[in-house]
Amino acid sequence: MSDVIDIEAIKLSNAQIAWRAAQDIEDGAYVNLGIGFPEMVAKFQPKGKQAIFHTENGVLDFGEAPAKGEEDWDCINAGKKAITIKPGTAFFHHADSFAMVRGGHLDVAILGAYQVAQNGDLANWSTGKGGVPAVGGAMDLVHGAKRVAVLTDHCTKKGEPKLLAACTMPLTGVGCVTRIYTSLAVVDVVDGGFVLREKIPAITLEALQAVTGAPLGTEGPVGELICPEELK
């Protein structure tokens, strides 16, 4: 289990993963951030690159969270957290909101994951273990956005790979993921296989492959995945 212990020590924090994902968002991109962890991406927009955020419940180009006590609960995001308006904000109804999603108008959707398969299959809505099932907008978001990116720990808490040959949990979407930002690497899905784009310097390719459930191909040199230390 020494590999697992090493990885816990060297892996990126969620904030660092979110920071890395934020670096890929083009100026002017329309972006939907999934509820929870992916919402952190908004904090790390590089200077000079202005993304416009969409939330499923009918708001485009909203502002930051209000100060505590200043919330207007009619002005929330899909995570039911309070947001604010700013110059450029637009409100619209739910069918129009999902026309934006499903009609291919988003440039990027960034989601969390339980599992991602090498063909781009995503499982992120149900562990399949019972309880109350809930899907929200996840199955919609994986279709329509030009890029579907995933933020995830490279392994489960038990040290098992989350990047797999095939998902074992119920699918959210088939062949939908284009890029995975993990706590150890940046991996693309290309023609049914994983292609390693970047890895943290502290891990070897062999060690990374050992905690990945399907072959990590390469195309040209693998970049160094270096994130701000203060986000650790």
Partner 1 sequence: MDKRLTSPAEAVAGIKDGAVVMIGGFGGSGAPIELIHALIDQGAKDLTVINNNAGNGHVGIAALIEQKRVAKMICSFPRSADPVVFTEAYLAGQIELELVPQGTLAERIRAGGAGIPAFYTPTSFGTDLAKGKPVEVFEGRPYVQERWLKADFALIKAEAADPHGNLTYRMAARNFNPIMAMAATTTIVQASRIVPLGGIDPEQVVTPGIFVDHVVEVAKPAQEEELNRAGAVYP
Summarize as ranges the residues that interact with partner 1 (CB under 8 A). 27-28, 30, 50, 52, 54, 56-61, 72-76, 78, 80, 85-106, 121, 126, 131-140, 143-144, 170-174
| In the complex, minimum distance from the CB of residue 186 to partner 1, in angstroms, rounded to a whole number | 25
Which amino acids are annotated catalytic? 56
β pairing state of 163-164 and 115-117: parallel
DSSP code, position 161:
B
Q: Which is nearer to partner 1, 79 or 217 (CB)?
A: 79
Q: Which is nearer to partner 1, 140 or 153 (CB)?
A: 140
β pairing state of 90-91 and 30-33: unpaired
| In the complex, minimum distance from the CB of residue 205 to partner 1, in angstroms, rounded to a whole number | 32
| In the complex, minimum distance from the CB of residue 208 to partner 1, in angstroms, rounded to a whole number | 29
| In the complex, minimum distance from the CB of residue 176 to partner 1, in angstroms, rounded to a whole number | 9
Residue 108 φ/ψ, nearest 5 degrees: -140, 135
- State the number of CA atoms in the 13 A half-sphere of 90 facing the CB: 10
Q: Which is nearer to partner 1, 97 or 212 (CB)?
A: 97
Q: Which amino acid is at 89?
A: T
DSSP code, position 13:
P
Contact 80, 72 (CB under 8 A): no
What is d(CA 157, CA 8) in angstroms, rounded to the nearest whole number? 9
What is d(CA 35, CA 116) in angstroms, rounded to the nearest whole number? 18
Q: Which is nearer to partner 1, 53 or 181 (CB)?
A: 53
